Structure 1
């Protein structure tokens, strides 16, 4: 079923969004480390589901599709609830989803007032997963670390603020998240955690410099 939905997404993203969300909600399993065949099968299904969601999230030109996916907040949280479970196979697809989410913020803001609720949902997901994303900066995999930096960089570049001309003049309909401060706090917390465990923090130092954080 998941493979069939992949083909549908490519052909007609807007029509596929509802089907993908419903099917994903039924089939997505907890990201639990398992070494048996059943566990590996479960992970493969999860990876395919997340790939589908990422494809839909990247379709910025199709509002109907993106609205449906972004509104599935519980599904998005479940899809990114195991970033630190085990290895690249689990972590990379979830980081790719967060990266696609961060990159979707600015295009959605261009929709105008109709995009505000969508941006709120996207921003809430990013904020919820910010600590886990920061922890991935210390991951032994260079690929995971690089993708984590990319996610955080895209979050910094997103600006969930939109000025709308209302009856009484311009106003901002959604709150502004100080991503720079939040990321710096997470970096500081992770550094303290690593040092407390006797672990090096040179990966964190490198990431902080790349992101322009103290």
Structure 2
């Protein structure tokens, strides 16, 4: 769990922490390229330049290593999303966020998909601990979007009956679906459509200015 990982990190020496970080970074990269299922511990040992004893000192099994990768990706994704979303309170701000996502997908031609969503698809059905952690990270991402929509409702851009949590969940569902389709097609087009539809679902609730 996230707290356990942090506690373990505090007990490590500087050298041990560096070794652990190198192992997790190698596993993260391999799982991005090959997938979590196809990545073996031997692959990680070779890629990280560590010994088998070093790896098992930090991670007793692949599940423990997967949890560390989830924590690493979750921290990276949520830090980026918080930077984008923490001050957004308008449709133009949400549009800029959508363009930033589309730009990242376009540069990669859809490859790799979502860092969290792709991992969730692979591990959630057979690794309950990883599934729980991934759900927490994705739920936090939805909460960031919910906060944006709550600010928009508070400043009069959304109607009072708009449900920010429901709309945010819809945006996330469209986003994750867009990643999957863009990855399969190696084309950013499906992501563009998904984001446009997600934004349309929010604009339905735009507050109409009162007539004078």
- Bigger Cα Rg: 2
TM range (shorter): 0.3 to 0.5
Could you state the TM-score of these two structures normalised by the residue count of structure 2?
0.33
